[in-house]
């Protein structure tokens, strides 16, 4: 494995906070509340020791949602281990700089630790020693793998990789339970995206399936869907009833997105029907 894959990267930079504040400068209390309400909702489903499965099509905000959960955890003075497995490290850094409010940047980002991997073998290697990574980082309460199946899909018809991904998922489930931490697994989807005659957007979304059998190991599943209205999304939360009886087994929320991430849209705009000109 390459040396760069073995190093934990700290996001703190010398004058990043001041530069970010000069460029963007959003620091009002309403922005903070909007950024934290979705994590508070999701964490209310969790007791510690769970696997959270997040999936959706490209551009539905999977990484954004996970990063919001990470920011809230960092704000509570807990550490995050973020395993970046899609080769988008620089883009991820820019997203962090956009989403973290400038006055909290230097406080939050030292707690966000990134481990970069670039091969499916590297994913297996990292999972096998994730216990030591957590112990080394200290006070880790949240682990994010973005994404769990990106590297796997290059060889997903291979029996060996299918067997290994199932072993990996079982191992992560045991680690979450033993360490009493939350592990978020971001996943991709597979589907026949061609719309059939008479098919609606809803029926099309029902045909979108997550890659691999990640849901079989998840205590909480979050499905993100993009709406036709700009910057509007739908989030479906599926909870194991035996885990948390105070919540419904499945619930849907409408979301809107801005630079700080998702917030709940209490008044979602209805989808506009196109006028037919005869």
Region 123-137: mean pLDDT is 89
Contacts of 210 (CB under 8 A, 6+ apart): 53, 55, 187, 188, 189, 190
Give the pLDDT score at 26: 35
Give the pLDDT score at 160: 74
| pLDDT tens by residue, 151-199 | 887 766 577 778 889 999 999 999 999 999 999 999 999 875 555 555 5
243 pLDDT higher than 70: no
Between CA 49 and CA 47 the distance in angstroms is 7
- Verify cis geometry, omega within 30 degrees of 0, for the bond prior to 147: yes
Give the pLDDT score at 25: 37
Output 94 or 22, whichever has higher pLDDT: 94
**Mean of pLDDT over the chain:** 78
Give the pLDDT score at 80: 94
| Domains of the chain as residue ranges with CATH | 29-264 (3.40.50.300)
Most confident of 42-51, 203-212, 238-247: 42-51
| pLDDT tens by residue, 41-96 | 999 899 889 999 999 999 999 999 999 999 989 888 899 999 999 988 888 988 98
By mean pLDDT, which of 8-17, 214-223, 233-242, 253-262 is the weakest? 8-17
pLDDT over 70, % of the chain? 73
């Amino acid at each position: 494995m390459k040396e760069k894959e073995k190093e934990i990267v700290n996001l703190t930079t010398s004058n990043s906070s001041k530069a970010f504040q000069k460029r963007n400068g959003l620091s009002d209390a309403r922005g903070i509340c909007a950024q934290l309400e979705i994590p508070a909702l999701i964490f209310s489903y969790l007791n510690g020791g769970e696997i959270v499965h997040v999936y959706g099509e490209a551009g539905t905000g999977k990484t954004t949602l996970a990063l919001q959960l990470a920011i809230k955890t960092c704000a509570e003075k807990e550490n995050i281990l973020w395993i970046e497995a899609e080769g988008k490290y620089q883009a991820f850094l820019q997203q962090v700089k956009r989403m973290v409010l400038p006055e909290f940047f230097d406080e939050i980002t030292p707690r966000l630790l990134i481990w970069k991997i670039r091969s499916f073998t590297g994913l297996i290697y990292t999972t096998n020693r994730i216990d030591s990574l957590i112990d080394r980082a200290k006070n880790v309460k949240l682990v994010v793998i973005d994404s769990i199946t990106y590297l796997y899909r290059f060889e997903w018809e291979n029996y060996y990789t299918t067997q290994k991904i199932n072993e990996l998922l079982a191992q992560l489930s045991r680690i979450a339970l033993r360490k009493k931490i939350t592990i978020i697994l971001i996943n991709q989807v597979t589907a026949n995206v061609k719309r059939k005659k008479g098919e609606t957007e809803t029926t099309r979304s029902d045909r979108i399936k997550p890659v691999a059998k990640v849901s079989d190991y998840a205590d909480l599943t979050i499905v993100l869907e993009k709406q036709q209205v700009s910057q509007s999304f739908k989030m479906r939360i599926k909870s194991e009833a035996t885990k948390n009886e105070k919540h419904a087994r499945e619930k849907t929320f409408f979301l809107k997105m801005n630079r700080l991430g998702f917030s709940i849209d209490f008044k979602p705009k209805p989808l506009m029907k196109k006028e037919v000109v005869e």
